[in-house]
Amino acid sequence: MEKVKITINNKTLEVPREYTILNAAIEAGIRIPTLCHLDLHDLKMVNRTASCRVCMVEVKNRPNLAPACATPVNEGMEISTDSLRAIKARRMAVELLLSNHPTDCLICPRNLRCELQSLAQELNVREIHYSGVKSDYHLDTSSQAVVKNQNKCILCRRCETACNEIQTCGILSALGRGFHTVVGPAFNLPMVETSCTYCGACVAVCPTAALTEVNHVPKVWEALHNPKKYVVVQTAPAIRVALGELFGMEPGTIVTGKLAAALRRLGFDQVFDTDFGADVTIMEEAKELIHRLEHGGKLPMLTSCCPAWVSFIEHQFPDLIDIPSTCKSPHIMFGTIVKTYFAEKNDIDPNNITVVSVMPCVAKKAEAARTELALDDHNNVDIVITTRELGDMLKEAGIDFDKLPEEDFDHPLGETTGASVIFGTTGGVIEAAVRTVYAWLEKKDLDRIDFKELRGIEGLREATIPINGQDIKIGIAHGLGNARHLLEEIRSGKKDYHAIEIMACPGGCIGGGGQPYHFGNDEIVKKRQQAIYREDLSKKIRRSHENKEVLEMYKEFMGEPYGEKAHELLHTYFEPKERI
């Protein structure tokens, strides 16, 4: 690798020629403030629009200041990051952004989590010297999942990069010119009228509150204080390895017991783990894969747990709509079980039950409202809140989370396995399925539980698992751009698999659009993944088909996995949708 010698703040460095000034400064431990810049190495996402002009530095013998994030280094370059001229330019850039920004910070969804707010504090901005006309756009609350507030957009273009380059959905782009430039869908259509998957990638990278999730917290409080409602909560596997971050804990801290205790303190009538629904999903999905393998069914079979991924294939690959598994997602399955089996077992009118899902995902909000997933014209899940929203509720209720005791989830529907826990990370769903398929097809008690060849953080992976004399070929993708690549290879016949897992969010659910903001720190996602596997190892039972409460539910109510009643309650259908 060719290197060049440069000087930053009188410090001599030797750095790779392909570096930018910002890359070199970071390696040297020199802080240059940034705003529009985002560099996610593992996701191969770099946003270098240099639109905010916050990272300006002075380069010797150049008349103009240079944006550090987009200026390549050259041999002999002498750079000053802390000159008075550079500091004043940064402050002016932030003041100009603030001059056209709403001043409702105290009631903003991103208050104290806003990068523009933090930057203004860091640069000691105490007044705005510029005034003029402010943008005045309509608040788009048309979708079930994402709120778009263009008045808070700073044109950093991060959302555009995430949507177009990482997820390849092509929903967001710059519209208009000059002062009237905004980022939005074509023709500035309402989000609900587009083919947005609601994956939340745009929400996760937005530095302000231009893009946020639809706030369902008031609905939860209303349900909890309605004496006529029996309110049941379920929490996804990825929540337990991320929620602690909102309370100052290290990324990857497992808070399963505290999570159950916290939900109980909020006043839920029953506190359950979506992991039970994940174990049921494996019972159905594994059986479906075996049925396709043994009866000449359509292959490859694709997992269908991720609603953003399901929406993606409906809009972008309608010709392949018959290959995903027909299984509902775990939290929808769990909602169905609560409103049928649990309601019947406890003599509760299903119409009086409110099911609340705590999810790491923004798309789950829209998924819960899909008519294809309803039961007798009623939603299986009534309200979905994100990890961030749960954190807000706990703070609002004055719950000292880190001091809570460890508690268990309620039973029945409370027993879970290691297989269900790993649903939270890329490769986890298919590994959980393989654990059961392997045991069922081999038809004998086997010691093998871990299938580490299915693990990793690479965007595209594949493995071959010998099962009962047959080599089962498996593909794995996370991030919709990687999913597109995989589907195009399947469509063209270049790749041949038996089963494929796809998750829309980078890293899987642990990196979901509803998780605590990690501001581009890939290490946080990796630590969450490591915690998921630690939780799996700590479980006494690690295969879904060995969950005694799941087996009891099938025996008492559901019948055979992949049977008639299971199809009626736990499976769904997909239809092609117009791409907009």
Q: What is the DSSP secondary-structure string of 501-520?
A: EEESSTTSGGG-TTSPP-TT
Task: Check if 535 is active-site.
Answer: no
Task: Check if 364 is active-site.
Answer: yes
- pTM for the full model? 0.94
At residue 518 the predicted structure's pLDDT band, cuts being 50, 70 and 90, is: confident
> Is the predicted pLDDT of residue 549 greater than 70, yes or no?
yes
CATH number for domain 3-98, candidates 2.40.30.10, 2.120.10.30, 3.10.20.740, 3.20.20.20: 3.10.20.740
> Is the predicted pLDDT of residue 450 greater than 90, yes or no?
no
> Measured on CA atoms in the order 384, 389, 391, 394, is the torsion positive or negative?
negative
* Token reading at 20: 């930018």
Top CATH class, 135-214: alpha beta
Of all residues in the chain, the percent with pLDDT exceeding 70 is 98
At residue 446 the predicted structure's pLDDT band, cuts being 50, 70 and 90, is: low
Task: Choose the catalytic residue: 75, 193, 372, 406.
Answer: 372
- Region 61-78: what's the mean pLDDT? 96
Lowest-confidence range among 402-416, 438-452, 564-578?
Answer: 438-452
pLDDT at residue 56 in the model: 97
Token pair 């996370």 is at which residue?
A: 478
Task: Choose the catalytic residue: 115, 285, 431, 535.
Answer: 285
Task: Check if 298 is active-site.
Answer: no
At residue 35 the predicted structure's pLDDT band, cuts being 50, 70 and 90, is: very high
Side-chain-side CA neighbours of 94 within 13 Å: the count stands at 24
Burial of 473 (0-12, 13-18, 19+ CB in 10 A): middle
Task: Check if 314 is active-site.
Answer: no
Task: Give alpha helix (H) positions in 233-329.
Answer: 256-266, 274-294, 307-316
Rounded Cα distance, 393 and 350, in Å: 26
pLDDT at residue 42 in the model: 61
Regarding beta strands 78-80 and 56-59, do their DSSP bridges make them parallel or antiparallel, or are they unpaired?
antiparallel
Task: Choose the catalytic residue: 364, 415, 505, 527.
Answer: 364
Task: Choose the catalytic residue: 58, 115, 160, 288.
Answer: 288
Task: Check if 206 is active-site.
Answer: no
Task: Choose the catalytic residue: 51, 304, 325, 357.
Answer: 325
pLDDT at residue 443 in the model: 78
> Contact at 8 Å (CB) between 287 and 486?
no
> Measured on CA atoms in the order 312, 314, 315, 320, is the torsion positive or negative?
positive
pLDDT at residue 22 in the model: 95
- What 3-state DSSP class applies to 447? coil
> Is the predicted pLDDT of residue 126 greater than 90, yes or no?
yes
- Each residue of 133-188: pLDDT tens digit? 889 999 999 999 999 999 999 999 999 999 999 999 999 999 999 889 999 999 99
Task: Check if 329 is active-site.
Answer: no
At residue 46 the predicted structure's pLDDT band, cuts being 50, 70 and 90, is: confident
CB atoms within 10 A of CB 133: 8
pLDDT at residue 398 in the model: 97
> Contact at 8 Å (CB) between 167 and 484?
no
Task: Check if 575 is active-site.
Answer: no
- Each residue of 178-221: pLDDT tens digit? 889 999 999 999 999 999 999 999 999 999 999 999 999 999 99
Task: Choose the catalytic residue: 52, 156, 305, 327.
Answer: 305
Q: At what angle do helices 115-122 and 84-99 cross, to 10 degrees?
A: 140
| Average of per-residue pLDDT values in the chain | 95
Domain map of the chain by residue range? 3-98, 135-214, 218-570
Rg of the chain over Cα atoms, rounded to whole angstroms, equals 25
Top CATH class, 218-570: alpha beta
Strand order in the sheet with 383-386: 270-273, 230-235, 353-359, 383-386
> Contact at 8 Å (CB) between 282 and 341?
no
Task: Check if 52 is active-site.
Answer: no
CB atoms within 10 A of CB 116: 23
Side-chain-side CA neighbours of 232 within 13 Å: the count stands at 30
pLDDT at residue 26 in the model: 94
> Is the predicted pLDDT of residue 532 greater than 80, yes or no?
yes
pLDDT at residue 43 in the model: 59
Rounded Cα distance, 199 and 309, in Å: 8
Task: Choose the catalytic residue: 509, 527, 535, 544.
Answer: 509
Rounded Cα distance, 333 and 325, in Å: 14
